[in-house]
Structures are given as structure tokens and as C-alpha cells.
Amino acid sequence: MPAPERIPSRGLTEAGLRTLLAEGEITVLGQVRGASNAVLHCSVAYEGEERTCVYKPVAGEQPLWDFPDGTLAQREVAAYEVSEATGWGLVPPTVLREGPYGEGMCQLWIEAEETAGGDGAAYGLPPLLALVEAEEPGDGWKAVGFAEVGEGRTALLVHADDPRLRRLAVLDAVINNGDRKGGHLLPAPGGRLFGIDHGVTFNADDKLRTLLWGWAGEPLTDDAVEVLGRLSAELEPGTPLATRLAELITAVELDALRARVEGLRSSGRHPQPSGDWPAIPWPPV
């Protein structure tokens, strides 16, 4: 499998970016408004290098009844570790560290491309999502479902039939992402795609809620099958990945992660909504 292009880093490797995030001095620039938990826009500087980052202190997290163990910050880091193990590089470099307001998650800030044109722009949709006034998606698109758009109108919400999104859909199924919204998709310069906001992940119960249902029930790609096989081996007890994840999520959640990987390998298909709860997060964008 070809390795994805790395993040444009102006000379820093992925390991260098992680060191910068983990060891650098954080300066808070402002707060990202509208989030249910504290999200701080910061700079981080180390040995002459400086980048922009997101810092989410554990002290600013709201308790979740269905995630009683661990922290959102730990699960964000665990999602990055699994993403790196796939080789797809879908989550920006993310570390757990002390910051100005205590322990928290520190993640490289990604500058996303402009929002979609046409109808989608009015609703803040990123370029890989669209609203169309049709019963079926057009070529190159996958249907998610119908949405109310005001004044008694409905439109079909679609996402691009894009291999980057398809990889992200597989990663979300693996980590059991309960909140894959449109605003969490960041197409970046250079053709990269990143997913962010992975605090509601790794639950032992099935919690998958996402906008990326367009491939539901379809066979997994050969690429995904290969990655899942490799990931299965890397999650064996005692491996570096399993040891690292055991520091971030519970033993029950780690066993459930292994079971989801094996379930995907056994079925050979993208999962489908269970029907037991809303399959699409709200608000969807």
C-alpha cells in the first residue's frame, strides 16, 4: 500500500511534530467557540520551531454518562495511534501532555480548504459534502439521507465517493466513532484529508454514528482488507500498539476494539446502521 503524503511540515518529520507538540511551550491564542468542551487555539514552540495547535484540557471536559471511564483527551490520542497504525495518516499528530490548564490533548492545527460551492456553502458544508435537490446522488457521490433545509424543503445529503473518505469510514468503524460530523472533515492542501474530534470513540458498546454511510453493506476495498489484517496483528497483547492503547482506554474497550477489527475482517463489508439508535449525529454538520 502506498504511504500517504505526510503533512507539510516545513522540515519537520512526523516524529518531529510529535516532539514539538509534546515538549513545546504552549501559548493560548484564543478559544474555539461553539464546542461543548473547552477547545483552545494555541501556538506551540520548541527549539526554534513553532506551529499552531489545538489544546483541549481535561479540566474543560463535560462528563458523559455513557463514557464513564477515561477522558476525551485520552480517546483522541488513542484514535491518532490507531490511525497511524493503519498507515493512512487520517488524524493530525496528537499527544497527551501537561499544558497551561493541566493535562490535555494537543493536536496540530490543520488549515482546511474552502467550503463547498453552490447549495452546500450556505449550510457550511465542507467540499466533500453536498445537498442536492434530487432523489438519487449524481455520479461520484453517495447518498446519506434526506435533510430539512427550511421553508418546507428537503434535500438529499450526499458525500463524495472519495477513497480518502472511504478509508476514514473504515477507521471510524474500527474506533467506534459516535460523532462523525461534516465539520470534522478537513480537506487540506496537497490532497490530504484529516478527521478531527475523536473524543467519543472506543466505547465497548456499538456507538457508530456518522455521515459516511454511503458504502454501507458494500465490500471493503483490498486496501482496507490488507490494513485490517495488519492492524489485527498489531493489536495482539504485548505489542507496542496494544501496550500504548492500554494506557489510554480500558481493557474492556481494547478487547472490543480487537473484536470490531475481527468483525470487519470476517464480514468483508462496510458496516450498516443497526437501527437501534439514530445513525447520523445531530447536528450533522
Per-residue pLDDT tens listing for the chain (285 residues): 333 444 545 678 889 999 999 999 999 999 988 888 999 999 999 999 999 999 999 999 998 988 999 999 999 999 999 999 999 999 999 999 999 999 999 999 998 765 443 344 444 445 788 888 888 888 899 998 887 766 777 888 899 999 999 999 999 999 999 999 988 999 887 888 999 999 999 999 999 999 999 999 999 999 999 999 999 999 999 999 999 999 999 999 999 999 999 999 999 999 999 877 778 887 666
- Asked if the structure places residue 244 within a domain, the reply is yes
- Asked if the structure places residue 213 within a domain, the reply is yes
- Asked if the structure places residue 73 within a domain, the reply is yes
Round to whole Å and give the CA distance between 59 and 104: 8
- Asked if the structure places residue 152 within a domain, the reply is no
CA distances in angstroms from 120 to 63, 116, 130, 137, 172, listed in the order given: 33, 5, 5, 14, 24
- Asked if the structure places residue 149 within a domain, the reply is no
Q: How many residues does the chain have?
A: 285
- Asked if the structure places residue 139 within a domain, the reply is no
- Asked if the structure places residue 121 within a domain, the reply is no
Residue-range definition of the domain harbouring residue 85 = 14-111+164-267
Stated pTM of the model = 0.90
The number of distinct structural domains making up the chain is 1
- Asked if the structure places residue 95 within a domain, the reply is yes
Q: Which residues contact 28 (CB under 8 A, 6 or more apart)?
A: 40, 41, 42, 55, 100
